[in-house]
Chain A
Amino acid sequence: MKKVLLYLFLSLSGILTIAPFVWMISASFMADGHASVYPPRFFPDESTLIQYQILFTRLNALSNFFNSLILSVLVTAVSLLFNSMAGYAFAKFRFSGKDKLFTILLSSMIIPAQVTMLPLFLMLKYMGFINTYMAIVIPGLANIFGIFMIRQYAISIPDSLLESARIDGATDFQIYWKIILPLCKPILVTLALFTFLGTWNDFLWPLIVLTDNSMYTLPVALANLMGEHTKDPELMMAGSVVTIIPVVIVFLSLQKYYLKGIMMGGVKE
């Protein structure tokens, strides 16, 4: 009896959690006006692709999609390189002031991103990078949280392994490339996932530095569209589906790494 109640409750909560997504997908396949009915429908009466057609032809969402994709991949690749190199140095190099520097870096994580936004905007404007990919990539080059995660992981790699490679004549770079990176693969995948999803989902910063529809990422384009098409739930839902589907696919295929990463140290979105 207790078991039945428990399952009933869990399933009901599950359905309630998923319901917004089901409604979103169903409404995205409806013709204009068909989602504005009472009671709300969870299946389109007659499905149509017209909203997606409008999105990709008239509204040019494909370029927004590619902006999001290219930026997410670019930021992930570059930050992974920078963070893993620094994480390796913090884990395995000996130099004076290392612990102090690391502590300072960690404690600075409490500073909210909004503090840096204004001067960063002015800097990028001065460099002529506003409304370019560089405006997103530059602030994402390295991040303290990523360095921390890799350092925590790399610190457990035995020194004897690196020592014997060095005796065999391996350079520091070879050690990093051929020993550290392969051994750190799980954490690298986790970090790549966080960074990719974080960049894809980011809103406030792209809203500030991207000023032109052809440069917008999907979330910014969607927010912009919302202003003009408040009365078109069907079109807005199609836009939401296009924005959400890629992250859901990426997450589902690598969920093990994602959930493990959260358990490891917890992350801020």
Chain B
Amino acid sequence: MNSRNNNVKALVFFLGPAMLAIFVFFCIPVLSAFVISFTDFDIYSLGNFSNARFIGLRNYTQLFEDPLFWIALRNTFFFVILAGPLSVAVSLFSALLLNAKLVKFKGIFRLTYFMPVVTTLIAVAIVWRFIYHPRFGLLNYLLSFIHINPVDWLGNPFWAMPAIVLMSVWKNFGYNMIIFIAGLNNIPSDLYEAATIEGASWWQQFRSITLPMLAPTTLFISLITMIGYFQLFAEPYIMTQGGPLNKTLSIVQYLYQEGFRWWNMGYSAAIAFVLFFIIFLGSVIQTLVQKKLKHA
């Protein structure tokens, strides 16, 4: 009995602090956000919470009639659909190159490609803002060598989002590359040896050994990349402020503006839950698609 009491005491001592912190500063906020999303919590409720009233689903119905929300939704999907696969492809490609047997100095190359990952997003977004400068920017200078006329990347409604995509791929590909390298190293080398003996080409080996063996890694990478990209915020905040013509306004940026600029917290909480729902749905769909592919 005594030892049982001691066990409970030890459990409370070791698990208690973290669980309490997670409960109070994570679980309660999630539930409160859900409740707030059904109220008209606004700047008047900020001073006195009792000013907020329940309005049922009105925030959600209003959201679906809000043209700016649809623009933010479309922009974010455009970003995820363009940057997600591109990031994964560049990561896989660089991992394959670095894993090639001929390459020496792997460590140096790996470190170089990884550098953008650790650096502060805000700082590099500022750097890229000047790289995209229409007159003095590095990108237009490089493109002048292949006779492409200067483009106002961030000021042009068509190019602003692709410019943010390019910067994001540059910033993130090193991260997934490292996971891919680990995945490639886990593939037993005798598979390749057997295939080589049977005369399979590099492409055949890639399609019938590398890709299927990497499937779990690819699913994991696709998921974390997608979840991260749906939360796009800092890049447009620094580089375009959502412009030009709202072409780079993202969901999180809209949520931030509604919640913390105009203090429409009920409305903002509804946006947060729509975002959560989209991410959840996206994860389920990707996992199902991957399973289907595996059995096909």
Contacts and interface: CB of A to CB of B under 8 A. Distances in A.
A117 B136 contact: no
A116 interface: yes
Interface in B108-128: 109-116, 118-124, 126-128
Contact of A36 (B29, B136, B252): B136
Given A208-B260, A262-B178, A118 B22 contact: no
Interface stretch (B53-61, B81-89, B155-163, B273-281): B273-281
B179 A111 contact: no
Contact of A222 (B19, B126, B131, B283): B126
A12 B130 CA distance: 22
A2 B224 CA distance: 34
Contacts of B221: 266
Interface stretch (B67-75, B193-201, B225-233): B225-233
B14 A118 contact: no
The dominant DSSP class at the A interface is: helix
Contacts of B285: none
A14 to B, nearest CB: 4
B234 A263 contact: no
A247 B272 contact: no
Interface string B85-105: 000000000100110101100
A120 B29 contact: yes
B130 A116 contact: no
B139 to A, nearest CB: 10
Interface in B1-36: 6-7, 10-11, 13-15, 17-19, 21-22, 25-30, 32-33, 36
Contacts of B27: 108
Interface stretch (A157-165, A181-189, A199-207): A199-207
A89 B126 contact: no
Q: How large is the interface on B (under 10, 10 to 19, 20 to 34, 35 or more residues)?
A: 35 or more
Nearest to A143: B22
B182 interface: yes
B77 interface: no
B130 A236 contact: yes
Nearest to A200: B120
A251 B118 contact: yes
Given A23-B138, A82-B18, A141-B25, A6 B178 contact: no
27 contacts: A17-B170, A20-B124, A21-B127, A24-B127, A36-B135, A88-B14, A95-B7, A112-B227, A114-B252, A114-B272, A116-B33, A118-B29, A118-B268, A118-B269, A118-B272, A119-B30, A119-B33, A123-B28, A200-B120, A203-B233, A222-B126, A223-B237, A226-B238, A243-B123, A258-B118, A268-B227, A269-B228
Interface of B: 6-7, 10-11, 13-15, 17-19, 21-22, 25-30, 32-33, 36, 46, 49, 94, 97-98, 100, 102-103, 109-116, 118-124, 126-131, 133, 135-138, 141, 170, 174-175, 178-179, 181-182, 220-221, 224, 227-228, 230-231, 233-234, 237-238, 252, 255-256, 259-260, 265, 268-269, 272-273, 275-276, 279-280, 283
